[in-house]
Chains A and B, each alone.
Chain A
């Protein structure tokens, strides 16, 4: 028996899914990607480094901030450029804002309908008007931050190698703080609603990989760690994680210790680093009563909610710190273009995003590699679904397909990012 989903809506990018089951045994479970290849790494080679953040962020319309920042960080590492504390803070605020609006979009508009058995979001908005308004408001807070600091929400403009072209005014920062304070109770209320949704039972022990840093819930930087004892510097990432292509596949896969199955993203981060979450995020996490380590991928949606609360609180904290700083220190200072190669990573909403770049003495790009979260968890998702199918094998065709769609969407895959 084949279970075929031609097209999975409500995810970023285009893909279908195909599973083949013989006598109750899942023989294969595989994505059938329908995305064209844009060859972002290929088109960057030979170009000036200044074009890289501009072009690379266009890999993804929902998480441009993380592609932009990771390319900037990789180039700065390659040329050994140091940036000011204010620059780092402003970037961190943008990162947190990126999490807020990407997560709020996914957990509410892309995934929630699956748990309420509703077919489309216009219907969802009609049945849950209050919750819809809250989700929109939370997104708007995240977007407002990116607009004020970055100049635009989709494909921000002010960030560059060395710092910022333009910084927000102290009044703009104060305004954002007020908005953040207003949005926290809204987020907590929506989170309470999410606590009531019923997620299917499913569990498959795995390895959770994410960044980790002393003293903070790592999002902007850190070392790569896992719940199985892995701890490497970002520069050593490719010694441990090997990217490879299977013939005819446009998404590359990533292998670690000879295995291709490990998980990244909100569920990995919260499992590994929950002790460093903000106070309200911790309280909410406790109220969910999940036992850590938690291996139910449907809970990814709730862990995104945990991170929304964390990012709201953390963004306000960072913005408050910025009220005591001279933001002009974040304006790009003169630096020397140097030859060099280096890596960089950030936590993207969907997991660890890795860039490596090699720049020549004149600042032209010799080589570049980009490893996205979805490329890392694709095999894990296929393995999970293969394990999930036997439990739903007796349901009718339509139900089966629906449950598989819900499963895939809970992962929040971004096919545009994965193919790039």
Chain B
């Protein structure tokens, strides 16, 4: 008798689709992981129409930026035992959210001459529309992290066991482990201390400051971070940088609460 494999779908809303490519770039390791499940929908690899059946896990990448995107998202939630937000756009709004911080709906005037009939919604993260059970953070996601949490998520979906959680450690932990010289020591700004680790400190390892694409960690202290960076970037520069990955609204509410 054939064993019944868990069913999953990987769905994308408006995005660069880089998180899907990060998965695909795992090559054989991704193919092997997918052999353990039934892929109901992954439009990068298959042409068949999605049958619309119930799912153990629905993965969603990108922002719901059109009415059609919203429908896709609501439908995915309805049919999935677990819904996983994949990447910075789904989790935090991503680069399109810069629009919210600046000229908002007026931003469109720089780009289009005829704006009538073009959907120009405020950018809102996935969890404003549906309940999110787990988040794979990052821009793009860390594919290795997917391989770690995927079996745990399948297990939770099958047994109802508690969901996994990404450990509340700053980017600095992995950065130190890699032997990188701390950018802050050279008076170069870096958000590492307040940001959730798990990315293998990929940015500071390339001498690029952490700009916070994985989001504030639970005990991350935004106020202390701002103070520590005071001599390296002014408030405006700090805010501008936090806008890139949709971090600014999270920092503002964290600072209000602390």
A residues whose Cβ falls under 8 Å from a Cβ of B: 7, 9-10, 12-14, 34-43, 45-48, 51, 54-55, 58-62, 64, 105, 109-110, 113, 119-122, 125, 133, 136, 139-140, 143, 150-155, 157-158, 165-166, 244-248, 250, 367, 405, 416
Taken together as a complex, chains A and B put the C-alpha atoms of A7 and B47 apart, in Å, by 9
Picked from A43, A109, A120, A245, the residue with its CB within 8 Å of the CB of B99 is A43
CB distance from B176 to the nearest CB of A (A): 18
Contact B66 A34 (CB under 8 A): yes
B16 touches A55 (CB 8 A): no
Given contacts A42-B103, A245-B112, whether A151 and B202 have CB atoms under 8 Å apart is yes
- Say whether B18 contacts A155, CB under 8 Å: yes
> A394 to chain B: closest CB distance in Å?
23
Asked whether, in the complex, the Cβ of A59 is within 8 Å of the Cβ of B16, the reply is: yes
Q: Are the CB atoms of B13 and A36 closer together than 8 Å? A: yes
Question: A248, B118: Cβ atoms under 8 Å?
Answer: yes
- A-contacting residues of B (Cβ < 8 Å)? 12-22, 24-25, 27-28, 31, 34-35, 39, 43-48, 63-66, 68-69, 94-96, 98-99, 102-103, 107-114, 116-121, 139-140, 202-203, 205-208, 211, 237, 240-241, 244
Looking at the assembled complex, report how far the CB atom of B43 sits from the nearest CB atom of chain A, in whole angstroms. 4
Contact of A105 among B24, B107, B113 (CB under 8 A): B24
Partner of B206 from the list A40, A151, A246 (CB cut-off 8 Å) is A151
Nearest Cβ on chain A to B206's Cβ, whole angstroms: 3
**For the complex, what is the distance from the CA of A7 to the CA of B205, rounded to whole Å?**
40
- Quick one: given A122-B34, A140-B27, are A10 and B46 in contact (CB under 8 Å)? yes
Q: Given known contacts A54-B244, A58-B139, is B45 in contact with A157 (CB within 8 Å)? A: no
Pick from A7, A35, A61: contact of B20, CB below 8 A: A61
Max chain A C-beta neighbours (<10 A), residue from B102, B111, B202, B237? B111
A42 touches B99 (CB 8 A): yes
Q: In the complex, what residues of B have CB within 8 A of residue A42's CB?
A: 99, 103, 107-111
Additional A-B contacts beyond A122-B39, A248-B116 (16; CB < 8 A): A34-B68, A35-B14, A37-B108, A38-B95, A38-B96, A41-B111, A42-B103, A55-B95, A60-B18, A109-B45, A120-B46, A125-B31, A136-B27, A158-B207, A158-B208, A247-B114
- Beyond A36-B65, A248-B114, whether A154 also contacts B18 by CB under 8 A is yes
Which residues from chain B contact A165 at a C-beta distance below 8 Å? 206-208
Interchain CB contact (< 8 A) of B21 among A39, A133, A154:
A154
Contact of A157 with B203 in the complex, beta carbons under 8 Å: yes
A139 CB contact (under 8 Å) in B27, B116, B117, B140: B27
Q: List 13 A-B contacts (CB under 8 A).
A: A10-B43, A36-B96, A37-B118, A41-B111, A43-B98, A55-B98, A58-B16, A61-B22, A122-B45, A152-B206, A250-B112, A250-B118, A416-B16
Given A43-B95, A55-B95, A166-B206, are A153 and B114 neighbors across the interface (CB < 8 Å)? no
CB distance from A124 to the nearest CB of B (A): 9
Given A35-B14, A36-B66, A105-B24 in contact, is the A10-B44 Cβ separation under 8 Å? yes
Take A37-B120, A154-B22, A155-B18 as given contacts and tell me if A51 and B111 are in contact as well, using a CB distance cutoff of 8 Å. no
Question: With A41-B111, A155-B139 in contact, do A247 and B208 touch (Cβ < 8 Å)?
Answer: no
CA distance A407 to B41 in the complex (A): 22
Question: Chain B residues with Cβ under 8 A from A110's Cβ?
Answer: 44
Q: Which residues of B contact A40 (CB under 8 A)?
A: 95
Name the residue on B nearest A101 (C-beta): B25
Minimum CB distance partner of B202 in chain A: A152
With A10-B45, A105-B24, A245-B112 already in contact, the answer to whether A151 and B95 are too (CB < 8 A) is no
Q: Which residues of A contact B19 (CB under 8 A)?
A: 61, 154
Chain A neighbourhood of B99, CB < 8 A: 39, 42-43
Q: Is the CB of A36 within 8 A of B119?
A: yes
The CA-CA distance from A416 to B63 in the complex, in Å, is 13
User: Is A157 touching B208 in the complex (CB atoms < 8 A)?
Assistant: yes
Task: With A12-B17, A64-B18, A136-B28 as known contacts, state yes or no: A47 contacts B118, CB within 8 Å.
Answer: no
Q: Which residues of B contact A47 (CB under 8 A)?
A: 98, 240
- Are B16 and A248 in contact, CB atoms less than 8 angstroms apart? no
Residues of chain B with a CB closer than 8 A to A367's CB? 110
Taking a contact as CB atoms under 8 Å apart, the answer to whether B47 and A120 are in contact is yes
Q: How far is the CA of A110 from the CA of B117 in the complex (A)?
A: 32
Contact B14–A38 (Cβ < 8 Å) = yes
**Chain B residues within an 8 Å CB radius of A45:** 110
Residue in A13, A42, A61 whose Cβ sees the most chain B Cβ within 10 Å:
A61
CB distance from B61 to the nearest CB of A (A): 9
Nearest residue, chain B, Cβ from A121: B45
**Closest CB-CB distance, A408 to chain B, in whole Å?**
12
Contacts of B110 on A, CB cut-off 8 Å?
A: 39, 41-42, 45, 367
Please indicate the chain A residues that have their CB under 8 angstroms from the CB of B94 in the complex: 58
Q: B140 touching A61 by the CB < 8 A rule? A: yes
Closest to A57 in B: B16
Q: Is B240 a contact of A48 with CB atoms below 8 Å?
A: yes
Chain A residue with Cβ nearest B63? A36
Q: Which among A12, A37, A120 has the greatest number of chain B C-beta atoms within 10 A? A: A37
Among all A-B residue pairs, the 3 with the closest Cβ atoms: A61-B18, A36-B65, A36-B14
Complex CA distance for A12 and B62, rounded to whole angstroms: 13
Give the distance to chain A from B148, nearest Cβ to Cβ, in Å: 18
- Asked whether, in the complex, the Cβ of A166 is within 8 Å of the Cβ of B207, the reply is yes
Indicate whether A51 sits within 8 Å of B244 (C-beta atoms), given known contacts A121-B46, A248-B117.
yes
Q: Chain A nearest CB: distance from B73 CB in Å? A: 12
The distance in angstroms between the C-alpha atoms of A12 and B68, with both chains bound, is 17
Instruction: Give the Cβ gap from A143 to chain B, nearest Cβ, in Å.
Output: 6
**Is A39 within 8 A of B111, CB to CB?**
yes
Closest to B109 in A: A42
Most chain B beta-carbon neighbours within 10 Å: one of A14, A150, A245: A14
Smallest CB–CB gap between B102 and chain A, Å?
Answer: 7
